[in-house]
Every structure is written in C-alpha cells, then in structure tokens.
Homo-oligomer: A and B are copies of this chain.
C-alpha cells in the first residue's frame, strides 16, 4: 500500500495495518494463536490465496507477524504474532466493540464462525482473578461449537468442545451473539429460546456486563 506520507501516529499505523485484510489476519492470529497458512485461509473465509501470501510477507517485514518452521512430524510453517503484533489487540478490540451493533439487525449471507466472537467475550469481561476457573461451551444451531474458559481472571475463548463444561449454552445464532456481546441479558435470552445446561452462575461469570 502507498504510504499516506503524513507525520502522524494514526497515519503511520494505517501505513502498516491499513491494507485490506491485514487487520483480519491479525484478528485471526490473536484468536487462534500460531496458525498454518491453510487454517488462516479457512478462518478468513474468502481471502484470495495470493493476497494472504502478500499480506503475510508485508506484516512479517513490518515486524507484526513472525513465521517459524514447526519441527517434524508436523513439518509446516506456523505464523504467529510478534510481541509488537500482540499489542494490536487493543486496536482490534476497540474496532470490535464499535462494530458489534452492526450485527444486530439480521444475519444475511455472511459467513458465520463461532471463534470470531472470542475477542468480544474477552474484552467485555472484567477480571475477577480470585475465583475458580470455569468452562462454558457455546453451541450455535448448526455451527461448530466454541468454548469459553476463565483462567485466573483472564478469559480464554477457543474453538472446539470442553471435556467437562460447567455449563452449555445453545440456541439460535442471533440470540447467542446478542448474549455474548452484551446486548441481551440472560433472563431475556432464555425466555426467547436460549437453553442453558449446567451452572447458570458459571455462565454469568463469562458473559460481559450488560452494555
């Protein structure tokens, strides 16, 4: 991308991560941790392979992304965020908070992936480090499940299932999303079709404070 040529912190930041797809690549790495090329491509859902290769090169040159050869038997390249790249979490989180209301109305043809709400969940939750860890499994109708765990006051969401979840929430996409992003409280959500198995208290520990 062409530089803006402005001596300004915002413009300089955009010179590095203002390209199309760049911040979404960072989002993907923030959520998934070190990832293979193919997994990034799947998570980004729609990026052209040449663009992904381009962006990874640019971000690596800028010191945002690093790549490492995984040892055998995996034998593949793993892309991950450098320390500098991790610092973009505040930016991505701020964007996500601002963008959350845009999801409210409907679910058009947009590709749904559970893990994309991981950051929203993480950002919405204030730390209470003293309590025991909990694991909550989230199931959206017809989609891959996701797990939200609290570990020492930090919230760690990830794709997949939990062995012994403290609670399992399930229901239609829009309601679950509204619940996870804090637009809907638990009582209303359950009254409209969200189902909770297990400890409701564990679930509330993981939900954002009502916004």
Interface of A is mostly: helix
| Residues in chain B near residue A110, CB distance under 8 A | 5-7
**Closest beta carbon of chain B to A27's beta carbon, Å:** 5
| Residues in chain B near residue A93, CB distance under 8 A | 94
**Closest beta carbon of chain B to A123's beta carbon, Å:** 10
| Residues in chain B near residue A112, CB distance under 8 A | 7
List 19 additional A-B contacts (Cβ < 8 Å) besides A6-B113, A7-B111, A12-B103. Answer: A5-B45, A6-B24, A6-B46, A6-B110, A7-B103, A7-B177, A8-B113, A9-B97, A9-B100, A9-B102, A10-B99, A11-B24, A11-B116, A13-B96, A14-B24, A16-B102, A18-B20, A91-B91, A93-B94
Interface size of A by CB at 8 A reads 49
Judge whether A96 and B5 touch: CB under 8 Å: no
Nearest 9 pairs of A and B residues by beta carbon:
A13-B99, A8-B116, A9-B99, A7-B110, A12-B102, A9-B96, A12-B99, A9-B100, A91-B94
Judge whether A96 and B10 touch: CB under 8 Å: yes
| Residues in chain B near residue A135, CB distance under 8 A | none
Judge whether B95 and A91 touch: CB under 8 Å: yes
**Are A94 and B97 CB-contacts (below 8 A) given A6-B46, A6-B116, A113-B8?**
no
Judge whether B109 and A5 touch: CB under 8 Å: yes
Closest Cβ neighbor of A2 among chain B residues: B20
Judge whether B103 and A97 touch: CB under 8 Å: no
User: Is the CB of A181 closer than 8 A to any CB of chain B?
Assistant: yes
